[in-house]
Structure 1
Amino acid sequence: MLKSMTGFGRSRGQRSGYNVTVELKSLNSKFLDAQIRIPKNFLDKELELRSQLAKGLNRGKVSLSIDLVNEEGGVDAQQVNESLFKAYYSDFERLADEVGAAKEDLFRIALHSPDVLIPQMEDEELLKEQWGFIQEHFQQAIKAIDEFRMQEGATLEKELKNYIANIDTFLKEIAVHDPERVLVIKERIQKHQQELSTSDIFDENRFEQEMIYYIEKFDISEEIVRLTNHLSYFNEVIGEKDSQGKKLGFISQEIGREINTIGSKANYAPVQKLVVNMKDELEKIKEQLLNII
């Protein structure tokens, strides 16, 4: 069963005093690349979340967003450091008097000066309750994105099987053309033999040995057998319980090697056209595998 690395999952919940929204988005990546945005009160939980993402999603460029909003609509409850605010305001007011500047914005400037507004400290019991609620919806979001990935994977599986079937069809056509290909090569060599036979230095035994050598060199029967086995193995791996994107990538490389060898040995236009068609299908496979876990 294949899984796509592209996915989306969301979970929302409400509890007395606050709401939680967890969103997960993922795109393809060779490794887990997680970008995490969480409330300030839970910044110390980032490593825990990364570990859970690695376990639940395995691979992908992942974006995690967790919002904790109180019922009044505030994201983070804040309190004012009054003594620091007054100190800022007093200094700004004094400086304004010295330079003759207007004082209309002093309150706003002092209020937004460094460390004047600070997150309101929550009691430990409330933080523990909120984190448990966040975890509950985080796991639901993981489940949602996993289901999304499975649906996308099922679509990709059908496409990959279709591409493999196309390669197999072209390969069978090559097998049909192969006897006539060998005959054409033999006739070509025999024609050269007739042209050379009039030469005084012509050695018939040596020529026959070389002809056998070249016919064996152009033989593609082993490549046909190996490529057939690779195609069968590809379909077998697709049907495994766990998604095997990297393994399928390795098999596709082996498929490519056999196709290239057949192309280099073919020396016959109808076969080479079929090789081009197989390469086209293989490129489609490689492109899709980039998005498979």
Structure 2
Amino acid sequence: MICSMTGYAVKTRDLARGTLQLEVKSVNSRYLDFHFRIVDDLRAMEMPLRELLAARLNRGKVECRLSFHPAAARGDQLQLNGELLGALRELGAQVRASQPDAAPLSVNEILRWPGMFGEQGIDFAALGPDVLALAREALDDFTATRAREGEKLAAMIVDRVNAMRAIVADVAPRIPEAQAAFADKLRQRLQDALGNASDDRILQEVAVFATRIDVAEELSRLGAHLGEVERVLKAGGACGKRLDFLMQELNREANTLASKSAVTEVSQAAMELKLLIEQMREQIQNLE
């Protein structure tokens, strides 16, 4: 399947001591670029998460947020951290010995002190399997959103390919007649300009110019490149870079077509082709 580089997913898991939440989102990038925002107590999970994501993703700027929200304890479950309480008492005594006018900590300040109760009993190292299980669930949703977006982008690109084929099919049969008419006008102008020049000289000049404005080769290469675009889309996978290269090749042929144009039909076709190529190129920038 073809995936977009744009995706989003968030998952939560309720545990006995609190709730884990993992959020993954991504935008376009030339490479695979990770940015992790993880609570300090779970910082050790960054490397396992990085490996898990890298195994499933190929390109994109990916941001991963991991947080843990402790469950609110009932009053009969609260237990003060005696070691921390004693440390605060000793530190307070030292401060007052140095600064007699310093106000002691209030009961409210002590109870709100980080780690005084609630979280000190959580074994964050033991949460590793739960974090990875949650990450796999989030990653499944995340890749599914990227796949759905990629499917829409691929359909849009196929529509533009079909439109380009229609333009080539419409203009190609009319080019020989239009170029022949232009050659006749050129022959007449040369006769008027050169006066007594031989017919061979005039025919030679017309033949040289006809070679310069022949666009059959460009139309053939356009068809070949469009066929390759369809093949790459059908093969799927991480095809963004390959398709971007093909857009450069298509644009080169369209530019050559425009520069060699000597008739209105070819000029208009070249402009329409370049517009469709640019539309495809913009959307291909979103593909993995």
Aligned partner of residue 239 in structure 1, secondary structure: helix
Per-residue deviation, 1:205 = 3.4
Per-residue deviation, 1:82 = 4.7
Q: Is the 8 A contact 1:177 1:271 kept in 2?
A: no
Per-residue deviation, 1:143 = 0.7
Equivalent position amino acid for 2:132 in 1: Q
Where does residue 29 of structure 2 map in the other structure?
A: 29
Among 240, 244, 252, which residue is 1:257 paired with? 252
Q: For residues 192 and 92 of structure 1, what CA distance do their matches in structure 2 show?
A: 104
User: 254-263 vs 52-61, which deviates more?
Assistant: 52-61
Q: For residues 140 and 33 of structure 2, what CA distance do their matches in structure 1 show?
A: 19
Where does residue 49 of structure 1 map in the other structure?
A: 49
Is 1:158 the counterpart of 2:158? The answer is: no
Q: Deviations over 1:197-245 (max 9, x none)?
A: 424xx35434332321211111000111110111111011101142311
Per-residue deviation, 1:30 = 1.2
Per-residue deviation, 1:246 = 0.9
Q: For residues 2 and 212 of structure 2, what CA distance do their matches in structure 1 show?
A: 39
Where does residue 19 of structure 1 map in the other structure?
A: 19
Q: For residues 68 and 145 of structure 2, what CA distance do their matches in structure 1 show?
A: 24
Among 111, 130, 134, which residue is 2:131 paired with? 134
Where does residue 205 of structure 1 map in the other structure?
A: 200
Per-residue deviation, 1:263 = 0.8
- Report matched runs for 1:150-229 at 5 Å: 150-199=147-196, 202=197, 204-229=199-224
Q: For residues 194 and 88 of structure 1, what CA distance do their matches in structure 2 show?
A: 108
Q: For residues 125 and 213 of structure 2, what CA distance do their matches in structure 1 show?
A: 72
Q: Is the 8 A contact 1:89 1:107 kept in 2?
A: no
Per-residue deviation, 1:171 = 1.3
Where does residue 76 of structure 2 map in the other structure?
A: none
> Per the alignment, do residues 216 and 122 of structure 1 end up closer, same or farther by CA in structure 2, a change over 3 Å counting?
farther
Aligned partner of residue 23 in structure 2, secondary structure: strand
Percent sequence identity is 24
Aligned partner of residue 57 in structure 1, secondary structure: coil
Where does residue 69 of structure 1 map in the other structure?
A: 69
Q: For residues 88 and 53 of structure 2, what CA distance do their matches in structure 1 show?
A: 41
Q: Is the 8 A contact 1:12 1:19 kept in 2?
A: yes
Q: For residues 153 and 94 of structure 1, what CA distance do their matches in structure 2 show?
A: 68
Q: Is the 8 A contact 1:29 1:59 kept in 2?
A: yes
Q: Is the 8 A contact 2:49 2:135 kept in 1?
A: no
Q: Could you state the TM-score of these two structures normalised by the residue count of structure 2?
A: 0.85
Long gaps (5+) in structure 1 = none
Alignment size in residue pairs = 278
User: 131-140 vs 243-252, which deviates more?
Assistant: 243-252
Aligned partner of residue 243 in structure 1, secondary structure: coil
Q: Is the 8 A contact 2:187 2:202 kept in 1?
A: no
Q: For residues 284 and 174 of structure 2, what CA distance do their matches in structure 1 show?
A: 31
Q: Could you state the TM-score of these two structures normalised by the residue count of structure 1?
A: 0.83
Where does residue 267 of structure 1 map in the other structure?
A: 262
